[in-house]
Amino acid sequence: MNYQIPFNKPSRAGNESRYLAEAIASGHISGDGEFTRKCTTLFEQELGVRKCLLTTSCTHALEMTAFLLNIQPGDEVILPSFTFVSTANAFVLRGARPVFIDIRSDTLNLDERQLERLTAPRTRAIVPVHYAGVGCEMDVILEIARRHGIAVVEDNAHGLFGKFRGKYLGTFGSLAAHSFHETKNFTCGEGGALFINDARYVERAEIIREKGTNRNQFFRGQVDKYTWVDVGSSYLPSDLLAAFLYAQLEAREEIQSKRRRIWEYYFQHLGEWAQQHGIRLPSVPETCEQPYHMFYLLAPSLEFRQALMAHLKAREILSVFHYLPLHLSAMGKRFGGKPGDCPVSEAVSDRLLRLPFYNDLTEADQACVVEAIKEFHG
């Protein structure tokens, strides 16, 4: 079905075609070319990241973290149930057992008060997901992780340029994974980045990303031939993708201010209706600066949410739900997940609905969405 107002529409910032043409003309379209360097330098300098490596997706950046941490069969990794499958799969691929933690009902981020109880001798990593780009309670998470000698890997698929207590998300954990999938604020269709904040992991990350070879050292003149030195795969994107991405990153201020306007419009115009209908709007603590990744409503019940989605659909507006709790998925059940394990995740999954949100969403279209919502009374 074609919607008059879709949920997502990938937007162009302006220079994408020009940079693609430049990359083609340069004769270097495989990975780690000039545009890759421009993107990674931007992240390293602007966000204070020790080392950034572009990857083919956030999923792949997460898979790299599991290699880097030497996750072994039987190791445990604590992650929210309310997240995308890749947060879990990356570690399960290496034989780990996911330990699902419930989320807080305000930010929908992992509930750090339950962390201590879930840590065990085999816990190797905690993976906070900054839902909607609103930062998790990183000071508490890092303190618990430090005390138990557990690594922290941020899944920052939503949160690029967001901050917690004035510090950029993606710079707290030893490692952090990012996404440039077309639904994200900045995109190249499919893509990602691994931020490495702990210097110990840099050299091996380069090797794992280059099929287990020391090719990067060879290109830097540090070795006279390159060879197979470790396990690995091919996680580096073509420079064509980096060229597209760089055009978007270059326009980051404009993109973020557009998204801020969109988010604030929804927030202002839906407040009264939300209050009258028992709907909760997103909650952003004072400690967080969000990157305006998404706008969601939390309906009072599954029935209300489904009826509202159908109401919007009849007006050719696409709203979408989000994650199904991982502990209740077919795979999650194989790890012992059962109803009631993560009650907040279960309730939120039934009641959450995301509204159309993309860089080029016009105020006129947003006004239509708001009008349509206000016509709905449950």
Ligand X SMILES: Cc1ncc(COP(=O)(O)O)c(C=O)c1O
Q: Which is nearer to ligand X, 96 or 274 (CB)?
A: 96
Beta strands 123-126; 352-354: pairing state: unpaired
How far is it, in rounded angstroms, from Cα 192 to Cα 59?
Answer: 8
| Binding region for ligand X (CB under 6 A) out of 57-65, 202-210, 247-255, 331-339 | 57-65
Q: Least CB distance from residue 366 to ligand X, whole Å?
A: 23
Tokens of 190: 């499919």
Contacting residue, 83, 107, 109, 349, with ligand X by CB under 6 A: 83
DSSP-based three-state secondary structure for 78: strand
Query: At 199, phi and psi to the nearest 5?
Result: -55, -25
- Could you tell me the smallest distance in angstroms from the CB atom of residue 130 to ligand X? 8
CB of residue 98 to ligand X, shortest distance in Å = 14
Applying CB under 6 A, among 82, 84, 100, 263 the residue interacting with ligand X is: 84
Q: Binding mask 285-324 vs ligand X (x if CB under 6 A, - otherwise)? A: ----------------------------------------
Kindly tell me which of 181 and 374 has the beta carbon lying closer to ligand X.
181
Parallel, antiparallel or unpaired: strands 163-164 and 167-168 = antiparallel
Q: Which of 133, 173, 192, 282 binds ligand X (CB under 6 A)?
A: 192
Q: Does 100 bind ligand X (CB under 6 A)?
A: no
Provide the phi-psi class of 166: left if phi over 0, else alpha when psi is between -120 and 50, else beta: left
Sign of CA pseudo-dihedral 103, 269, 183, 201:
negative
**Beta-carbon count within 10 A of 117 CB:** 8
**Rounded distance between C-alpha atoms, residue 243 and residue 250, angstroms:** 11
Bridge partners (DSSP) listed for residue 52: 195
String marking each residue 112-131 x if it binds ligand X according to CB under 6 A:
-----------------x--
Q: What's the CA gap between 43 and 361, in Å, rounded?
A: 27
58, 108, 255, 262: which one binds ligand X (CB under 6 A): 58
Contact between 101 and 344 under an 8 Å Cβ cutoff? The reply is: no
Among positions 8, 36, 65, 87, the unique one binding ligand X when judged by CB under 6 A = 87
Task: Answer yes or no: are the C-beta atoms of 248 and 13 closer than 8 Å.
Answer: yes
Residue 187 as a binder of ligand X (CB under 6 A): the answer is no
Query: Minimum Å distance from CB 150 to ligand X?
Result: 20
Considering only 84-92, 107-115, 269-277, 280-288, which stretch makes contact with ligand X by CB under 6 A?
A: 84-92
Cβ 165 to ligand X shortest distance, Å: 21
Q: Are strands 192-196 and 175-179 parallel, antiparallel or unpaired?
A: antiparallel
- 137 burial (CB, 10 Å; 0-12 / 13-18 / 19+) is buried
Residue of the chain from 81, 123, 171, 179 that contacts ligand X (CB under 6 A): 179
Tell which one of 8, 36, 86, 197 touches ligand X (CB under 6 A): 86
56 exposed, middle or buried (CB, 10 Å; 0-12, 13-18, 19+)?
buried
Distance CA 293, CA 187 (A): 12
Please, what is the minimum distance in Å from the beta carbon of residue 376 to ligand X?
27
Q: Does 107 participate in binding ligand X (rule CB under 6 A)?
A: no
- Under a CB-based contact definition with an 8 Å cutoff, are residues 180 and 44 in contact? no
Beta carbon of residue 26, minimum distance to ligand X (angstroms, whole number): 26
Choose between 292 and 304: whose C-beta lies nearer to ligand X: 292
Single out the segment in contact with ligand X by CB under 6 A; choices: 30-38, 52-60, 100-108, 275-283: 52-60
> What helix, strand, coil percent values describe the chain, rounded to 5?
40, 15, 45
Stretch that binds ligand X, among 53-61, 99-107, 159-167, 168-176 (CB under 6 A): 53-61
Q: Is 349 in the site for ligand X (CB under 6 A)?
A: no
What span, in angstroms and rounded, lies between the C-alpha atoms of 285 and 329? 30
Q: Interacting stretch for ligand X, rule CB under 6 A, among 78-86, 238-246, 255-263, 265-273?
A: 78-86
Residues 155-174 that bind ligand X (CB under 6 A): 155, 157
For residue 218, the minimal CB distance to ligand X (Å) is 29
Element (H, E) at 164: strand 163-164
Q: Residues interacting with ligand X, by CB under 6 A?
A: 57-59, 83-84, 86-87, 129, 155, 157, 179, 181, 192
